Amino acid sequence: MQKINNAGVCTPLGYSASSAAADIKGNQKGNHDLTLLYSEVPFQVAGVFTKNSIKAAPLKHAIKSLENNKEYSAIVVNSGNANASTGLHGLEAVDTIVKAFEDGLSTGEGSVLMSSTGTIGVKMPVDKVVGKVDQLIDELDDCNSDKFAKAIMTTDTVTKEFGVLVETDNGAYVVAGATKGAGMIAPHMATMLCYITTDALISAENLQTVLQNAVQPSFNSITVDNDMSTNDTVFLLANGMSGIIPEMEQFQEAVNYVSLELAKMIVKDGEGATKLVTINVKNAAEKEDAKKCAFAIANSPLVKTMFYGEDPNWGRLIATVGASGVKCVEEKIDMFFDDLAYVKNGIIIDEALEAKAAEIMKKPEISITIDLNMGTSEKTVYTCDFSKEYVSINADYRT
């Protein structure tokens, strides 16, 4: 398995995309905010959606559609409007938009899915979207991965794409994807959209299993601000055009790899983030315990501002461990900053180590390991620091 440079959703065989400026938010100034992803042969699809009880209209549509159907031809995505908390108008908007694309593409009823991201509680401007259907279909091109990745962005500052080539005895297939998300990212994949495409030949049922396995250590192990949106969606599409029936373990590995790389890109581009921080909790008494502790640290504003301030203040970390409710004994806790053993049995090993720890805190990527010495469970989560820019972005921007 090898990384493909500049890969995106159109890298596997048969996929094309296009994007347009539909001015959905009303102040987009020509930014592309609408995109179409199409496969020349129908694809099987798996989906994982937000666990938020308030779900956006396109998610309600997709969840219902996927109950009966697993084969689709296209996905339309808009930014600038979440189409969430929009009542009946929101559901009718999805129906109208999806129907317009199905008619334009002549792919038949039930062949198009939709996702939305942007402000919650504002009516979707249906006419603006429908007015771009013909243009989007005309401009479909397999060179447009980047256009797709760009049109789905909201407060993201960079596009996020990653892909791998998987060699098999019978030939090669590709797994590639694009994602967006910068704020409102938490377990259960808050305000993030992700589209992973492959030209491997695989059933919708197997796809669903693989996707569910892949989101746990990736999209469900990242956090920017512990918020969970109404719109989070990960789709995995397989159109079979490579003709390769993948070996399941290898395919899982490829989807895991692509998912984790995309998930880390989200954290790195977290709103106002300047650092990617990996939190490892080791030797917890139970699996749930390890998770609780790792997320408590990853979500603590005091810890996150400490990373922004580049201060190796292990006292805030140990206080957060204690506050997390994890089973722990103060005198058993060890702590590492990258590979530096810094705290042993609950106290600092040597105050002279602080200078070394301070050097580590200056790095753009930092790993913190908490060894609870209580059992054998572990959990790794990825987070970012908390900066003044986060506050600026979220005080001024309407999510």
Residue with the two structure tokens 């994602």: 179
Residue 222 CA to residue 220 CA, distance in Å, equals 6
Which residue, 260, 148, 266, is CA-closest to 215?
260
* Footprint on residues 325-344 left by its own copies (CB under 8 A): 325-326, 328, 330-331
Rg of the Cα atoms in the chain: 22
In b/e form, how buried is each residue of 222-260, taking b as 16+ CB within 10 angstroms?
bbbbbbbbbbbbbbbbbbbbbebebeeeebbbbbbbbbb
Cα separation of the two ends of the chain: 38
CB of 335 to its own copies, least distance (A): 10
Q: Does 274 bind its own copies (CB under 8 A)?
A: no
Q: Does 346 bind its own copies (CB under 8 A)?
A: yes
Q: Does 399 bind its own copies (CB under 8 A)?
A: yes
What region does 181 belong to: left with phi over 0, alpha with psi -120 to 50, or beta? left
Q: Which of 2, 6, 26, 54 binds its own copies (CB under 8 A)?
A: 54
CB of 227 to its own copies, least distance (A): 5
Asked if 191 is an active-site residue, the reply is: yes
Contact indicator for 196, 255 with CB cutoff of 8 Å: yes
Q: In terms of DSSP bridges, do strands 347-348 and 276-284 run parallel, antiparallel, or are they unpaired?
A: unpaired
Which one of the listed residues 35, 50, 86, 191 is annotated catalytic?
A: 191
Q: Which of 302, 350, 362, 364 binds its own copies (CB under 8 A)?
A: 302
Residue 63 CA to residue 94 CA, distance in Å, equals 13
Q: Which of 104, 183, 240, 246 binds its own copies (CB under 8 A)?
A: 183
Interacting residues of 76 by C-beta distance below 8 A, sequence separation 6+? 34, 35, 36, 37, 97, 98, 101, 112, 113, 114, 115, 129, 136
Longest CA–CA separation in the chain, Å: 71
Q: Does 373 bind its own copies (CB under 8 A)?
A: no
Q: Which of 9, 66, 76, 82 binds its own copies (CB under 8 A)?
A: 82
- State the DSSP string of 368-384: EEEE--SSSEEEEEEEE
Q: Does 297 bind its own copies (CB under 8 A)?
A: no
Residue 92 CA to residue 96 CA, distance in Å, equals 6
Residue 4 CA to residue 23 CA, distance in Å, equals 33
Query: Given the rule CB under 8 A, which of 3-11, 65-73, 253-261, 310-318 is the region that contacts its own copies?
Result: 310-318
The tokens describing 183, both together, are 């704020």
Pick 52 or 79: Cβ nearer its own copies: 52
Query: Given the rule CB under 8 A, which of 5-13, 198-206, 296-304, 362-370 is the region that contacts its own copies?
Result: 296-304
Q: Which of 3, 64, 71, 87 binds its own copies (CB under 8 A)?
A: 87
Pick 42 or 312: Cβ nearer its own copies: 312
Pick 90 or 163: Cβ nearer its own copies: 90
* Footprint on residues 92-131 left by its own copies (CB under 8 A): 119-122
CB of 258 to its own copies, least distance (A): 26
- Write the binding mask 188 to 227 for its own copies: x where contact by CB under 8 A, - elsewhere: x-x----------------------------------xxx
Pick 247 or 311: Cβ nearer its own copies: 311
Residue 237, amino acid: L
Q: Does 311 bind its own copies (CB under 8 A)?
A: yes
The tokens describing 179, both together, are 């994602």
Q: Does 375 bind its own copies (CB under 8 A)?
A: no
* Footprint on residues 226-255 left by its own copies (CB under 8 A): 226-230
Q: Which of 16, 19, 44, 52 binds its own copies (CB under 8 A)?
A: 52
Residue 340 CA to residue 349 CA, distance in Å, equals 11
Where on the chain is the footprint of its own copies (CB under 8 A)?
51-55, 82, 84-87, 119-122, 183-184, 186, 188, 190, 225-230, 299-302, 305-306, 308-309, 311, 313-316, 318-323, 325-326, 328, 330-331, 345-348, 386-388, 390-392, 394-396, 398-399
Question: Known catalytic residues?
Answer: 191
